[in-house]
Amino acid sequence: MTKITKSKPEQWEKIKSIKDRCLEDVTKQYSLKEVKGVVCDMYTSIRLSQPIVLLAPSPLSMIIWSHAVSKVFNSGSQLNSQLSSQLHWQLSSQLSSQLSSQLYSQLNSQLDSQLNSQLNSQLNSQLNSQLNSQLYSQLYSQLRSQLRSQLYSQLDSQLRSQLSSQLSSQLDSQLKKEPYYIGSWWRIWSALYRGAEILGVKFDKEKLDLFANFNEIANCWCAHQNLCIVSKNPVKIHWKDKRLHNEEGMSVEYVDGWGLYSIYGLPVDEQIVLYPETQNIKQILEEKNERKKTIRIKMLLKKTKHEDCDYYYGVNIDKKYICITKNGRHLIANKSKKSAIKELENKILKEV
């Protein structure tokens, strides 16, 4: 078979639009009917009966629903865990070994290596830096590190008080073992195959549509026997220079209020973004991540500025007075607040 060696400028314009649309579609909302359609098609492709499909408002809700509702469908936690893990592997295997590998083989056999490399540069590399390295890595990290605290925030105070420490620890452990998937990688490959199609690559259309539609519409899921819970896409995402960034609120927000806080691509907590003035000096000076320390100081200065100077002053844990300058330098004094502030102001003015 003769490989495709030439392309036209208008083809690359269309490929660019695929990249732009792929980023825009991250916040596209799909109906339950649309989600159910692609999920049932995928289950059928691995010879499973069509499941009941639930559409959760966020990945966090999806995992909590999955843990609770799956018990109704499969009695016995050990059996349920085995079935879920097996089905999770089956779906993942279908996406990678059965569908993507075959589509990639078709792409390689038809597309010249130089065009293939150019296509990867246009789509795979650029989308990977935003969707995989930024968005989905932070979603995974947030889910794993904050699952228990986020769950507790959704329970009323009476129920929280009734949960013993042992029970809550067991629940936390079970939730973290709940099989779930966030499909950044395959969503990017869907865009790559769509781009190759524009360059003239002839794919098995049924397999391409199954692969692409599933990853575009249902790319975050918990799969069980007879049940699949899919998370809605976020409703808002804020980017700056291809990094997640929002100094006024969440960088990624879901319809139920769950989401991520990020500044210049770095995950931060809610306090730094919404209530930076409540940070204490200990938090700032003991911050090990230098980038995050700089962000802490910047956000603090943004909310609490001395009317004459570009710095913040407060009391540290040892009750010594401290000034933090705009460039992050700090000075500590042991005197009274009034004399300390005056002394520190003089030192800072000499430095500037």
> How does pLDDT run across 112-165, given as a tens digit for each residue?
989 889 988 888 777 888 888 888 888 878 877 766 555 545 444 444 444 444
Model's pTM, two decimal places? 0.76
Whether the pLDDT of residue 73 is over 90: the answer is no
Q: Is the dihedral of CA 317, 321, 323, 329 positive or negative?
A: negative
Domain termination site, one of 273, 289, 323: 273
Domain termination site, one of 216, 243, 273: 273
Residues 42 and 171 occupy one common structural domain? yes
Report the C-alpha gap between 320 and 75 in whole angstroms.
60
Q: Of 320, 245, 239, whose CA–CA distance to 280 is shortest?
A: 320
Residues 300 and 206 occupy one common structural domain? no
Q: Is residue 96 part of a domain?
A: yes
Residues 205 and 252 occupy one common structural domain? no
Report the C-alpha gap between 111 and 7 in whole angstroms.
11
Residues 299 and 203 occupy one common structural domain? no
Residues 47 and 129 occupy one common structural domain? yes
Domain termination site, one of 206, 233, 260: 233
Q: Pairing relation of β-strands 220-224 and 321-325? A: unpaired
Q: What pLDDT score was predicted for residue 249?
A: 95
Residues 255 and 322 occupy one common structural domain? no
- Percent of the chain residues past pLDDT 90, beyond the cut: 32
Report the C-alpha gap between 120 and 102 in whole angstroms.
17
Mean pLDDT within 1-24: 90
Q: Is residue 53 part of a domain?
A: yes
Residues 63 and 116 occupy one common structural domain? yes
Q: Is residue 1 part of a domain?
A: no
Q: What pLDDT score was predicted for residue 186?
A: 83
Q: What pLDDT score was predicted for residue 123?
A: 85
Whether the pLDDT of residue 337 is over 60: the answer is no
Residues forming a β-bridge with 313: 323
Q: Say how many C-beta atoms besides its own lie within 10 A of residue 57's C-beta.
A: 16
Q: Is residue 123 part of a domain?
A: yes
Domains in the chain: how many in total?
3
Q: Is residue 83 part of a domain?
A: yes
Residues 153 and 258 occupy one common structural domain? no
Instruction: Give residue 301's domain range.
Output: 275-352
Residues 14 and 157 occupy one common structural domain? yes
Helix (H, G, I), strand (E, B) or coil at 276: helix
Residues 204 and 114 occupy one common structural domain? yes
Residues 239 and 190 occupy one common structural domain? no
> How does pLDDT run across 183-220, given as a tens digit for each residue?
677 888 899 999 999 999 999 999 999 999 999 999 88
Q: Is residue 4 part of a domain?
A: no
Q: Is residue 243 part of a domain?
A: yes
Residues 20 and 97 occupy one common structural domain? yes
Helix (H, G, I), strand (E, B) or coil at 75: coil
